[in-house]
Chains A and B, each alone.
Chain A
Amino acid sequence: MVQVIKSIFYLGPLLFGFGFLAPLVSQVIQAVSWTPPFGLTPLMTGLIVGGGYGMIAQIRGRWI
């Protein structure tokens, strides 16, 4: 049971990056009326930044 629970949370940082940070970054960009470079939309930028940070946290095992 403990292993099942640990596996549920194993991908936590990655899921948090895409599930929460990505839309958060996107909505911050829209709130400050910033135009992302290279023709990226706010959501694409959010997915890259939030998802990327989540990926890094997933690999390192820590956010900070």
Chain B
Amino acid sequence: MSPTQDLSNLSDAELMRMEREVAARHLDKFPYFAVIWAFSNLAVWLALWPLVFMGILPLWLGFIIATANITLSYLPSHEAQHDIIAKPGAKLRWLNQLVGHTSTLPLVLPYQVAKITHMDHHKHANDPDLDPDYSTHADGPLQAVWKSLYNRQPRANGGFNAYGEVLQRKGRMDVILISVAYQLVHFGILFALAWSGYALEAALLWWLPRHIALTYIQYYLSWAPHNPELTKGRYRDTRSFRSILGNIGSLGMQYHIIHHLHPRIPLYRTPRAYWEMKPILEARGCDVHAL
């Protein structure tokens, strides 16, 4: 199938059959890169602390590396949330869970919270009442950055604060308590470091990089693929887009539409799946004109 082929005359059933055939070619591929990425990224971030404390690495450089580390910490967990590394019951299931739990530690985002809210996002994408990530919607890029910061304010109702409401609605008090424990440990470590004379290190290796990372992640993973002109529905709630920072700079999100249609396709296979599936997506009326 050529990327420019016109399939608009095909029936829904034929389009679905072709879509599934393309998806099948990219499913069940072990994401080696995501697994290596998860552990090496966490190791580098943890290594920054002794390196900076011992004066081997300057704090300004540690800040830049920490910001990159924390920004990159979400995606391996995202692969685990979708059981891409190993399905329940599989031999490597422990690895899937280990990646899920450990990679987002610098983000202070418990795996259980990420998984439950993300599954709800897939189920209710762009629904103002049920999509946990709907609060990132904004009219433009600058408003999206502002919204991300605003949602993190103490009495805001969006962002991570909205996740608490989702977990409460689903009756997951156990997961809320895990989230509370994460927050208390996070702030406990920050306060202890600060009063021990390491406030600058705590601020520049964790606190500020985490806020920059959250803004970047919410911009590219939530706002850019689900901009306000999109609505609900399998072929309407997300799109492909062209980022000025490219696919790597946008954390692999240019082809996000593939992820929503077939969430178990590994991130590294989404570009290839997109180009193979593009005529089908066009025939479905998807917003795939930017790429």
Contact = CB atoms under 8 A, between A and B. Distances in A.
Interface of A: 1-2, 5, 8-9, 12-13, 15-16, 19-20, 22-24, 26-28, 31, 57-58, 61-64
B91 interface: no
A31 B194 contact: no
Contact of B194 (A8, A9, A13, A23): A23
Contacts of B191: 19-20
Which DSSP category, helix, strand, loop or mixed, fits chain B's interface? helix
B197 A61 contact: no
Given A16-B187, A20-B190, A20-B194, A26 B176 contact: no
A63 B153 contact: yes
B154 A63 contact: yes
B16 interface: no
B194 A62 contact: no
A62 B195 CA distance: 24
Greatest chain A CB density within 10 A among B153, B194, B200 is at: B194
Given A27-B194, A28-B199, 13 more contacts: A2-B173, A5-B177, A9-B183, A19-B195, A24-B199, A26-B199, A27-B197, A61-B154, A62-B150, A62-B155, A63-B153, A63-B154, A64-B153
Nearest to A18: B191
Please classify how large the interface on chain B is, using the bins under 10, 10 to 19, 20 to 34, 35 or more: 20 to 34
Contacts of A15: 187
Q: Closest 8 interchain pairs by CB?
A: A61-B155, A62-B153, A24-B199, A23-B194, A19-B191, A23-B199, A27-B199, A20-B194
B22 to A, nearest CB: 45
Nearest to B156: A62
Contact of A8 (B156, B180, B199): B180
Given A13-B154, A28-B200, A23 B180 contact: no
A8 B150 CA distance: 21
A9 B161 CA distance: 12
B207 interface: yes
B173 A1 contact: yes
17 contacts: A2-B168, A5-B180, A9-B154, A13-B154, A15-B187, A19-B190, A19-B195, A20-B194, A20-B202, A20-B203, A23-B199, A24-B194, A24-B200, A57-B154, A61-B153, A62-B154, A64-B150
Contacts of A24: 194, 199-200, 202-203
B150 to A, nearest CB: 8
B187 A64 contact: no
B207 A20 contact: yes
A1 B184 CA distance: 16
Contacts of A58: 154
Contacts of B177: 5
Contacts of B149: 64
A45 to B, nearest CB: 13
B154 A5 contact: no
B180 A31 contact: no
A23 B195 CA distance: 6
A54 B168 CA distance: 28
A17 B168 CA distance: 29
